[in-house]
Amino acid sequence: MENRACDQSIPTQRGPRPHPGWLVTELAAVDTELGILKTGKEADVFLIRRGVPAGRSCLLAAKRYRDAGHRMFHRDSGYLEGRRVRESRTNRAVANRSAFGREAIAGQWAHAEFGALSRLYAAGIPVPYPAQILDTELLLEFIGSADGTAAPRLAETRPGPAELAGLWDQLVQALVALARDGLAHGDLSAYNLLVHDGRLVMIDLPQVVDVIANPRGAWYLTRDAENAGRWFTARGLSGVRPGPADLPGLLRREAML
């Protein structure tokens, strides 16, 4: 296990206020790494317990984007359209995928996800609370039980008809709210939706797409809707409005595309 002081950030690197009541924010708190939750091509996720000695504690998920020495973001060019920084040197390095450019891309992904989560959480969209960002590491609300058992992905669940319809309704509401804000998840599937106590939570948002700025925005919006619709249809969803076939057009209308 690895311990570290939790107060390593400045105000702009912390999540939106008001901070949720479960989050430990005391200066004396220490973060203890408990193990790995998930490995991926772009990032690994670790379980963290943040606690005050002889006091209260909370669980967090630490998402650490891989550095320039690792293979990552092999399909990132489309998502990065519409994202630019002021420094022309950085833009050139990103375009050329130099070592510095790959490091800059990792930073862009981390900050894009932190910014998206902060924006969506404040808007009431079901995403994990973004507690903190440090370089290319995000500290996020842990979605799961108090003993450290992570909530299952939607793809790992077998909901009955009533639960399936309820989860679909939650997803439609979340995607409509995203579209109204001019955004698409960008890579939505049953593998980046969690189900915790009947609540659907959207995760993995580094590739969130501004559907107005990105020339392929409508395509990403439609793909998200179709990916989600196929999973629910294959599980027997029927008799709901809007249904899977209605969702792509609904999202494009809500985004005014």
Catalytic sites, residue numbers = 187, 204
The CB-side HSE value for 42 (13 A sphere, CA atoms) comes to 19
Taking the C-alpha atoms of residue 181 and residue 177, their distance in angstroms, rounded to an integer, is: 6
Place of tokens 């989560």: 117
CA-to-CA distance for 112 and 127, rounded, in angstroms? 14
Task: Write down the H helix ranges in 41-144.
Answer: 77-80, 88-96, 99-122
CB 117 within 8 A of CB 130: yes
Tell me the residue ranges of DSSP E strands in 172-220.
Answer: 183-184, 193-196, 199-202, 209-210
Per the CB < 8 A criterion, the answer to whether 165 and 240 are in contact is yes
Contact yes or no for 232/244 (Cβ under 8 A): yes
Which H or E element spans position 163? helix 161-180
Whole-number Å distance between alpha carbons of 48 and 60: 5
Query: DSSP 3-state assignment of 215?
Result: coil
Contact status, residue 206 vs residue 109, Cβ threshold 8 Å: yes
Nearest to 63 by CA among 157, 156, 127: 127
